[in-house]
């Protein structure tokens, strides 16, 4: 059985406030052996246009998404593509930054999950794994 272990961690360091924020957790997802991971290097269109990141993920297909902004200068935003020129943005990737979370499968991600470069076409590395 193919398993992907996911570890998401965030920690505040160097604080003099006495407040220490630590989020740290590992968990597994069981992969669908019939589905290979969908890797991609995408050139994402400049906002207000947007680029759908995957084309073959149907509704009900749960999957884990990992993205990294590999553009040298441009920021990338992403979210729910409601209509042409209507990207409902929740997240931002500065150059070099990553994001990691489970895509919501109540709608087909291939119809809504999209990203856009801010100020120009930007390069995004993105992978998604489908779960059994």
Partner 1 sequence: MTELRITQTLIPRNSVSSIKKLSSELIIPVTTDGSFQPGTVAVPASPSKISPLPAFGFSDAGWCWMRNEGAYPVQFGYIQAGTLYPVGVMKAASGSQPAETALFRLYSAITVSFGLNAVGGASSVSMMAWKD
Interface contacts to partner 1, rule CB under 8 A: 1-17, 19, 21, 23, 25-28, 31, 36-37, 62, 64-66, 68, 77-80, 82, 88-94, 96-107, 112-113, 127, 129
Task: Please report how close the Cβ of residue 38 comes to partner 1 at its closest, in angstroms.
Answer: 11
- Which residue number, 45 or 99, has a Cβ lying nearer to partner 1? 99
User: Which of these, 84, 9, 33, 109, lies nearest to 126 by C-alpha position?
Assistant: 109
Task: Please report how close the Cβ of residue 86 comes to partner 1 at its closest, in angstroms.
Answer: 10
User: Which of these, 119, 131, 110, 108, lies nearest to 27 by C-alpha position?
Assistant: 131
d(CA 50, CA 96): 20
- Which residue number, 43 or 88, has a Cβ lying nearer to partner 1? 88
Task: For residue 80, give both structure tokens.
Answer: 């729910």
d(CA 130, CA 59): 12
Whether omega before 94 lies within 30 degrees of 0, making that bond cis, reads no
Task: Please report how close the Cβ of residue 120 comes to partner 1 at its closest, in angstroms.
Answer: 18
- Which residue number, 1 or 41, has a Cβ lying nearer to partner 1? 1
Task: Please report how close the Cβ of residue 16 comes to partner 1 at its closest, in angstroms.
Answer: 7
- Which residue number, 44 or 65, has a Cβ lying nearer to partner 1? 65
d(CA 68, CA 127): 9
């Amino acid at each position: 059985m193919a398993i992907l272990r996911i570890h998401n961690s965030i920690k505040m360091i160097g604080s003099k406030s006495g407040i220490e924020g630590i989020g740290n957790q590992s968990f597994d997802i069981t992969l669908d052996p019939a589905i290979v991971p969908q890797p991609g290097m995408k050139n994402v269109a400049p906002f207000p246009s947007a680029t759908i990141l995957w084309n073959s993920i149907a509704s009900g297909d749960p999957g884990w998404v990992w993205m990294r902004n590999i553009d040298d200068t441009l920021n990338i935003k992403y979210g729910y593509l409601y209509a042409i020129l209507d990207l409902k943005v929740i997240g931002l990737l500065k150059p070099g930054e990553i994001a990691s979370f489970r895509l919501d499968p109540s709608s087909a991600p291939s119809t809504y999950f999209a990203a856009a470069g801010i100020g120009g076409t930007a390069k995004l590395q993105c992978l998604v794994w489908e779960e059994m």
